[in-house]
Amino acid sequence: MKGVCLCIHPFFSKSMSLCAIPSAQVIPEESIFSGYESSHPLTVKYFKVMQDGTYWFQRLLTIESSFMRNVHEMPRQVIQHVEKVQGQKEYDIIYGGGGLAIIHAALMAKVYGYSVCLFDKYGVGLTHRDWNISYQELLVLRDCGLFSEEQLQSFITCSYRSGFVKFHDANSAIKTPHLWMDNVLDNALDANALLAAARAIVIEHGGVILDNAQFKSIEVDGRLASVHILEHGTQKTLYTPLFIDGMGAFSPIAKALNPKAPFTHCCPTVGTISSGFKTGTGEREVDFSVGEILVTNEDMLPDGRQLIWEGFPSSNNRFVTYLFFYDAIDSPSDKSLLNLYELFFEKLSSYKEPGEHFDIGRPLFGIIPSYSHKALGNARKSADDNILCIGDAAALSSPLSYCGFGSFVRNLPRMTQALHQVLQSKKLTVDSLKSINAFESRVAIMSNFAAFLQGKKGQPSNTVNETMNLFMDVLASLPKHISQEVFRDTMQWESYNLMMSTVPKRHPMSYKILIRTHGFWGLLRWALNFVGFTLSEKRKKS
């Protein structure tokens, strides 16, 4: 019987640090898969042959159960406001979670000189996703003083010349050709290499990293916080004036701050990095110079889910394929990643044709959160006394692109500068921290478009494809920079208005789709988001 109590991941073997799966979750390989062999035969088959497949399967199961808990259970009382925290400051900032948080920590340590400590229940700087971003957006990490341009280039595993969006139109009245875009998500990054470099910066600047340490609870008094963790099964308390929550979509802190809904919408996503697809320029072949940003090749499933593919080269011979769908948290749709993986393996050859030497490398998966703001500004709580949420724990990335990494990078300089000022003022109360977040009104308004991508049970199966073909037709008729802005989360107010006024001109009956999708309250929320967008533009200009 093969056990998996210690997994030496390639990234950690480089830095000679062990990535140990927390002991409570150590399960022998046979038993982790055996319960799923009959219900998810393809998923089990492929995870068994992947490198570190048992480890990744275990992380998949953890997300699955965290998601159920997060949606259906009451929040745990993890934050306690006390009169006085007893203890002495050990670090300027402590971070829970070692994904995007380590980039933030590296910047705060290197550029601003703060002492930092990071912990993660797995390994700090080990993620199960890779990121795509345009080169121009990536350069923010150079401009803010974190990495050199050479370093940034070393994280890029592949760049493609152009990308497209294409919705299935066999059953649509409007048929739209591929919408081509340059400089959109056109660089594939090795996320773990980037995070490893950030980890090295943290260590170089005296930061402390605790792998296999799980957040339990926090006490705050507005001046100091005591953070209780379980490190390798042993309880420990750490003291800091500022705790940054980077524990992702299922952060217990985010749930405690937003008991009803830490996020309102989500994008369950599964995929792999694989090699050996048939290459060429045919629809089901892989062209290593092209990125496929959003592609559908069938109408909605009977339960209302509109499955969407994404595919892009990740290195010379490897290709990333994702399958995902847009959803609302309170919808009855099946959000199980395991079930989605089974569909992924079943349907993969309908998207890209595996060749003779097809080989599945690493899995990539997650439930990406987003928040729909029924307000003029940010309606999501992402701070408390001595606490600030970032990344997926703040759920402020685009509900249309779900590019959480892109949103984080775009807002990093603004957020860290503002945080530096608050840290200097030593006023770490909720009132000082609550405005430090990645909220952007131009991004918030796009949740109204994202609604068109979300199918519902009972609708005609071509609903999403037909609507998106209409929208792609409008974008194709407009200057190219507008589609770039839509898919790069950088919508300009003037572009937005041009786009909105073109829809009824090109498609006079589109108001019917608008009313069907949004209803009265939805349109009111859209109007509210638009007023918020307009006011924020006015503020920027004045």
For 247, list phi and psi in degrees, rounded to 5.
-90, 20
Residue of 91, 239, 405, 533 interacting with ligand FAD (CB under 6 A) = 405
Could you say whether residue 399 binds ligand FAD (CB under 6 A)? no
Minimum CB distance to ligand FAD, residue 322 (Å) = 6
Residue among 169 and 186 whose Cβ is closer to ligand FAD: 186
Could you say whether residue 415 binds ligand FAD (CB under 6 A)? no
Minimum CB distance to ligand FAD, residue 166 (Å) = 18
Give exposure, 412-426, as e/b (b: 16+ Cβ within 10 Å): bbebbebbbebbeee
Q: CA-based diameter of the chain, in Å? A: 68
Could you say whether residue 247 binds ligand FAD (CB under 6 A)? yes
Minimum CB distance to ligand FAD, residue 270 (Å) = 7
Only one of the segments 78-86, 129-137, 430-438, 496-504 lies at the binding site for ligand FAD (rule: CB under 6 A); that segment is 129-137
> One symbol per residue from 350 to 369: x for binding ligand FAD (CB under 6 A), - otherwise; what is it?
--------------xxx-x-
Only one of the segments 241-249, 291-299, 440-448, 533-541 lies at the binding site for ligand FAD (rule: CB under 6 A); that segment is 241-249
Minimum CB distance to ligand FAD, residue 30 (Å) = 25
Number of chain positions touching ligand FAD (CB under 6 A): 35
Minimum CB distance to ligand FAD, residue 337 (Å) = 9
203-232 residues in contact with ligand FAD (CB under 6 A) are: 214-215
Beta carbons within 8 Å of 200's beta carbon, 6+ residues apart: 15
Could you say whether residue 100 binds ligand FAD (CB under 6 A)? yes
Q: 16: left (phi > 0), else alpha (psi -120 to 50), else beta?
A: left
The answer to whether the CB of 314 falls within 8 A of the CB of 273 is: yes
Only one of the segments 158-166, 386-394, 507-515, 532-540 lies at the binding site for ligand FAD (rule: CB under 6 A); that segment is 386-394
Q: β-pairing, 387-389 with 242-245?
A: parallel
User: Distance (Å, rounded) from C-alpha 49 to C-alpha 362?
Assistant: 10
CB atoms within 10 A of CB 408: 25
Residue of 248, 262, 304, 313 interacting with ligand FAD (CB under 6 A) = 248
Minimum CB distance to ligand FAD, residue 297 (Å) = 19
User: Distance (Å, rounded) from C-alpha 213 to C-alpha 217?
Assistant: 12
Please give the sequence-ordered ranges of beta strands (E in DSSP) within 207-264, or none if there are none: 208-210, 213-220, 225-231, 234-240, 242-245
267-296 residues in contact with ligand FAD (CB under 6 A) are: 269, 271
Residue of 397, 416, 484, 517 interacting with ligand FAD (CB under 6 A) = 397
Tell me the chain's radius of gyration from C-alpha atoms. 23
User: Distance (Å, rounded) from C-alpha 306 to C-alpha 84?
Assistant: 51
Could you say whether residue 532 binds ligand FAD (CB under 6 A)? no
Residue among 269 and 529 whose Cβ is closer to ligand FAD: 269
The answer to whether the CB of 532 falls within 8 A of the CB of 443 is: no
CB atoms within 10 A of CB 519: 11
First to last CA, the chain: 68
- The residues binding ligand FAD (CB under 6 A) are 96-101, 119-122, 127, 129, 131-133, 214-215, 246-248, 269, 271, 322, 364-366, 368, 391-393, 397, 403-406
